[in-house]
Structures are given as C-alpha cells and as structure tokens.
Amino acid sequence: MRWSFRIAVVDGIAIKIHITFFLVLILGAIEWGSLTGTALGALFGVVLMILLFVCVTLHELGHSIVAKHFGIPVREIILFPLGGVSNITKNPDKPLHELFISIAGPLVNVLIAAVLVLVVGRIDRVNLLDGHGLLQQLQSPDLQGMLVWLLAANVTLVAFNMIPAYPLDGGRVFHAILAMFLGYRRATRIASVVGELLAIVLGIYGLIAGNFILVLIAVFVFFGASQETATADSKTVLTTLRVGDAYNKNALTLAVGDRASKVVDYLLTSYQPDFAVLQGSNLLGIVRRSDVLHALASSQIDLFVTEIMERQITKVDASKTLQEVSDYLHAQNAQVAAVYNGPMFLGLTSLEDINEAFAILAFQQRQQQARQQRQSHA
Ligand SMILES: [Zn+2]
C-alpha cells in the first residue's frame, strides 16, 4: 500500500500506518483541545486516539493470528482513519474457519472492555450503572476519563463491527453461518445483498443525523460487499472446476521403448514440461524436464525413458476440484498428479498448471474490480 509505513512487526505480520491516519490524531487534538481549552487537553486527545488505535490493532491481530493458525498467510495490517485492515491473503475455505477468524477481532475488544470494566469498577468515583455520571467522566481529561472513554470505544467497536453487513466482521460471521447450510456461492450472494441494503440504511441514517463518518463507512461497506461477490466468483471457479475438465487432453506421451533423446525433441518443440510414460493405456511413470536434464548430464548413452522416469505417482480423481488437487499436491510435497477416471488414466496436471489457472483468475478478478472502481468513479 502506498503512503503507508511500518511501525512494528508482530508474529511476522507487518503493522503499518497509512499517512492519512495522522488526521485522526489532529482531530483528537482539536476536539479535546477545544473541550478543555488547554494544550494539555489537546495532548490528552492525541494520547486517546493512539490508545484507541492500539485497541484497533489488537482487534486486527485477533483476526490475523487466528487466520495464521488455520494456515492462511497474513502479510500486513494497515491502520486507516476509519479503522484497521488485515491483509489476509485468501478467504478461508471452511465456513467454520471464517467464523473463528471473523469473531476473533471483536472478541479481543470484548476482552479489553471486560478488563476495563474491572479496572474502572474499582475506582470509587465511577459507578458503571450511573449513565449521567459516566457521560461526565467521558469528558474529563484525566485517567478515569480515559479509561471510561476507552471502555465506551471498545463497546462501540464491538457493536459496530458486529453489524451483519458484509464485509464487516458481523457480515462475515453471518456469511460463514449461511455457507454452512447453503454453500459458498449462495451465501456470498445473500450476505452481499444484505450488506448492501444495510449500507444504504446506514448511509441514509448518517445523512439524516448529519454524521458523515457513518456515511463514509456506509460507502465503504457498500463497495466492499460488491467486491466480495467478485472475489467469490473467481474463487468458485477454483473450488468448482474439476481437474477432469482442466487437464491437458492433447498432451504428448511416451511409450516404453522411447529414449531420453525423444523427450529432448519434445522439450525443444513444445512447452510441455511433464510426460506420461505409457504401456498401452497404463501409466508406468512420469518423466519431468529435470529428469531428462539430469540424465543428459550424468550419462553418455541415450537412456530409455523407463530408466529415468519417476515411478512414485501421485494420483487424483477427475472429480476433484483444482483447489483440492492443489491442496493435495502441497500436502504430498509433489509437483505433478496423474488424473484418473476410476481405473482409467486420463492425463497429467501439475502445480504449475494450477498456479497458472490461479494467476489467470486473479487477473480476471483484478480487471473486474478495476471496472467496478471505474464505474464507481464515473
Ligand atoms: Zn474486524
């Protein structure tokens, strides 16, 4: 992200501040400076905003650490004036994982609020059941005022984030629960529509109440919801496209009597890197580009392909999705899989092929998003 810089690294996750974040500090200084009429009050406002964003960062770390626990890499957390964003590199596959990741952030604020309730409750002058007294506390620039204000802020963070509007946390929880019963695609459609409707309601309310931060958030939620639909569409291809429909049906193959020099010819005249060695229609082994190069380097004679082929074959059923095959290959620490339809060998597919499919889909998705952004700017 341009215009953001790193302030810390926690558990391998870079925590960055976007330059616009300083607006929040200035706003805090102005608000509390004018409320108290002193420079100390302004400083108090700045400290308050920093503490608020410590809570926001802990919230994002809650999401990120749970995501990492489920094996999803997290690149960075960026703090914007409207809140934090965790750059979680992919959406979780399992609804239950999405549920845990989404709920972890607000749960952190619940914990902070609980600790603050205990601390504030111990201070004699504060009665948590006395709303009017609390309101006065909120406006006093001292330690008690700070604690009560932070308590209110954390409760607000939980309440706001749990609004079931995709892509807010509450919307993701809602989506995860829907996905358990309706499948990923339908869940995304429903959660997005609900998110967009709630964003419109929020926006209208913000306009009527004259709260422009609410209007901004409503716009963010609205476009976030439609972007999630685009992501879900390309994700659906990976999770629904069967490898039986996606392997190379016109691949060059080798027979038992073929020699390494034939593979060299193939390598020079085609872009195919992996070759199935067949006896009739039975797969005996796989010759990869690296096997041939190795054979050329280590042997003077033109070896038979059966002498250089890899006999350890990772088999996958044609009904498996690209996502499943990719996960399986990673788990097996293998590069190539033989695709079978029952006992019948169909062809080969490699991690490279699947990654290419990923890249093409990601490109399509970026284009789609760019189109949406152009539309929203028009
Ligand atoms: Zn969150």
Q: How far is the CA of 68 from the centre of ligand 1 (A)?
A: 15
pLDDT at position 276: 92
CA–CA separation, 222 and 325 (whole Å): 35
Q: How far is the CA of 232 from the centre of ligand 1 (A)?
A: 19
Strand 274-279 and strand 83-88: the pairing is: unpaired
Q: Omega before 92 cis (within 30°)?
A: no
Q: How far is C-alpha 207 from the geometric centre of its chain's CA atoms?
A: 32
Domains, the chain, with CATH or none: 1-162 (no CATH), 165-240 (no CATH), 244-351 (3.10.580.10)
Ligand 1 centroid distance, CA of 5 (Å): 21
Give the Å distance between the CA of 231 and the centre of ligand 1: 19
Is residue 301 exposed (0-12), middle (13-18) or buried (19+ Cβ within 10 Å)? exposed
**Residues 364, 96: Cα–Cα separation, whole Å:** 28
| CA 63/CA 105 separation, integer angstroms | 5
Q: How far apart are CA 206 and CA 215, in angstroms?
A: 5
How far is ligand 1, taken at its centre, from the CA of residue 376, in Å? Answer: 25
pLDDT at 134: 64
* Cα 281 to Cα 167: distance, rounded to the nearest angstrom: 50
Bridge partners, 16 (sequence order): 6, 78
Instruction: Please check whether residue 35 is in contact with residue 41, taking contact to mean a CB–CB distance below 8 angstroms.
Output: yes
CA of 168 to the centre of ligand 1 (A): 7
Distance CA 263, CA 173 (A): 52
Q: Do residues 277 and 284 lie in contact, with contact meaning Cβ atoms separated by under 8 Å?
A: yes
* Cross-strand bridge partners of residue 10: 13
User: What would the two tokens of residue 275 be?
Assistant: 């070759």
Q: What is the spatial distance between Cα 144 and Cα 122, in angstroms, rounded to a whole number?
A: 11
276 CA from centroid of ligand 1 (Å): 48
Q: How far does the centroid of ligand 1 lie from the alpha carbon of residue 63, in Å?
A: 7
Q: How far is the CA of 227 from the centre of ligand 1 (A)?
A: 17
What is d(CA 40, CA 321) in angstroms, rounded to the nearest whole number? Answer: 61
Please state at what angle helix 131-138 crosses helix 143-161, rounded to 10 degrees.
110
Cα(149) to ligand 1 centroid in Å equals 20
319 Cα to the center of ligand 1, angstroms:
36
- Residue pair 346/324 in contact (Cβ under 8 Å)? The answer is no
CA angle, 219 then 57 then 216, to 5°: 15
Tell me the CA–centroid distance for residue 111 and ligand 1, in Å: 14
- Cα of 325 vs centre of ligand 1, distance in Å, is 31
Determine the distance separating the centroid of ligand 1 and the alpha carbon of 265, expressed in angstroms. Answer: 55
State in Å: Cα 154 to ligand 1 middle: 12
127 contacts 133 by C-beta, under 8 angstroms: yes
The residue type at 28: G
- Compute, in angstroms, the gap from residue 284 CA to the centroid of ligand 1: 51
Spatial CB neighbours of 62, under 8 Å, sequence gap ≥ 6: 104, 105, 106, 107, 108
Residue 175 Cα, ligand 1 centroid: separation in angstroms?
14
Q: How far is the CA of 115 from the centre of ligand 1 (A)?
A: 19
CA of 229 to the centre of ligand 1 (A): 19
Is residue 346 a contact partner of residue 278, using CB atoms and an 8 Å limit? no
Q: Give me the residue label for tokens 């620039």.
A: 141
Beta-carbon count within 10 A of 294 CB = 13
Q: For every one of its 378 residues, what pLDDT tens digit does the chain have, with 9 covering 90 and above?
A: 567 888 888 888 889 988 888 888 898 889 888 887 888 888 988 999 999 989 999 999 999 999 989 888 787 888 887 777 777 766 777 889 999 999 999 999 999 999 998 888 777 666 666 666 666 666 677 788 888 889 989 998 899 889 888 778 999 999 999 989 988 778 888 888 898 899 899 899 999 988 887 888 888 788 776 666 655 655 666 666 778 777 777 888 999 889 988 888 888 888 788 999 999 888 999 998 888 888 888 877 888 899 889 888 899 988 888 888 888 887 788 889 999 988 889 899 888 888 777 777 667 666 766 665 555 444
Centroid of ligand 1 to alpha carbon of 158 (angstroms):
9
In the reported structure, the alpha carbon of residue 56 is separated from the centroid of ligand 1 by a whole-number distance in angstroms of 8
